Amino acid sequence: MSLPKRSHLLRSCYLFYHENMTMQEIAKQLQISRFKVSRYIKEAVEKGIVQVHFHDSNIEHEKLALQLERTFPIKLALVVPTPYRSDISAVRLAVGQAGASLLADITPESSLSITWGRTIAHLVDNLPSDQLKAQRVVDLAGGFGQVTDEISARAVTLQIARKLNAECFQLPAPTIVENIATAHALSKEPIIRNTLEIASESDVAIMGVGPTDVDSLLYRSGYVSERDFATLKANHAVGSIFGRFYDLNGRECDTEFRERAIALTFDDLRKIPERIALTMGAHRIQAILGLMYGELITTLVTDSDTATAVLEEHFALQGRRSKNAKTESGNIEERDQSSLLRPEKV
């Protein structure tokens, strides 16, 4: 004698969801296989017999984060709700606060490297004082200039080092220098060479992301002009991190800025186990994609509007690439067929 399938399905769901029994326990009680229990529960959800409701609005942001983690070669995504009316200052604050929360489990043996930026400044502001500890904090790049009217680029590293009771290593140079010869000379200076070497040995790198327009901190600090941006875009630049510009595939653009930057190289950056980018905004979508396509980061912290736009742009790019591949394949096949129809003259 055996119960009908419908009874097994409903009992499996009731015991699983209401009595919190494991699938193995349910299988034993109903005298069916664990595989059947799993199949019944899945079927009940697919047919709408069982509906799961979450009573927390943040679930939508966690769904976005999971989709980012499944779509791109990153380990972790942290998505915060986009503040009402999408005020950019409020978004920066929310993303900075989320970034600070990621450092809650940092250990006293940890070494951090960091770059400057307005969102990074919010991260530092939201770290508690004298509650966390790290071994050292290091500049990822030179940083003369202002992050905000109140905060200089150099102050960001000093402030986080104080809050973490960590030793501070700063690069006494601009992010980008006037010419290649100056950059080569500075790179040979022991203090700069040693600081970049220490940065490459960090456990965690924390970065802001610069767009290729006048909202970039590099532009506002006078390192890059509008004419420079035009040249960079002509060389397929979509964004920058610590003064280095890269394309949609995450490859550093082959321009003179590559030699003029006083900063860690991308190869050395990828050696750092945890690489966190804090960023947001519609004008940074391709910059964010480039970071993930090039595996320059392991963790993305952003807001829900930006996360949605990044996923939409990715799938649109995939669709265009697929369409182009089919068109190219059709053209090749057409050429092959035409060669059969028109044999060469002897």
pLDDT at residue 95 above 60? yes
pLDDT at residue 332 above 60? no
CB contact burial 209-223 (16+ within 10 A = b; e otherwise): bbbbeeebbbbebeb
Q: Which residues 6+ apart lie within 8 Å of 176 measured at CB? A: 142, 218, 223, 224, 243, 257, 260, 261, 262
In this predicted structure, what is the pLDDT of residue 341? Answer: 40
CB contact burial 147-164 (16+ within 10 A = b; e otherwise): beeebebbbbbebbbebb
Q: What is the DSSP letter of 32?
A: S
In this predicted structure, what is the pLDDT of residue 331? Answer: 65
Written as six digits, the tokens of 183 are 């950059």
Nearest-angstrom CA–CA distance, 97 and 92: 9
In this predicted structure, what is the pLDDT of residue 84? Answer: 76
Q: Do domains 5-46 and 59-310 have the same CATH topology?
A: no
Written as six digits, the tokens of 149 are 């009217």
Written as six digits, the tokens of 244 are 């280095």
CA-wise closest residue to 86 among 304, 309, 283, 314:
304
Judge whether 208 and 277 are in contact, CB under 8 Å.
yes
- Residue 120 corresponds to which amino acid? I
In this predicted structure, what is the pLDDT of residue 335? Answer: 52
* Residue spans per domain, the chain: 5-46, 59-310
In this predicted structure, what is the pLDDT of residue 54? Answer: 82
From residue 128, give the alpha-carbon distance in Å to each of 100, 113, 133, 168: 9, 18, 10, 18
- Whole-model pTM? 0.83
In this predicted structure, what is the pLDDT of residue 144? Answer: 63
At 171-186, the pLDDT tens digits run 888 999 999 999 999 9
Percent of the chain at pLDDT exceeding 90: 74
Phi, psi torsion values for 159, nearest 5 degrees? -65, -45
Question: Which class does domain 5-46 fall in?
Answer: mainly alpha
Judge whether 300 and 277 are in contact, CB under 8 Å.
yes
**Where does the pLDDT of residue 23 fall: very low under 50, low under 70, confident under 90, or very high at 90 and above?**
very high
CATH fold of 59-310: Rossmann fold (3.40.50)
Average pLDDT, the chain: 89
Q: Which residues 6+ apart lie within 8 Å of 241 measured at CB? A: 115, 207, 208, 209, 210, 277, 291, 296
- For helices 88-101 and 118-125, the axis angle rounded to 10 degrees is 50
Strand partners, 239: 246
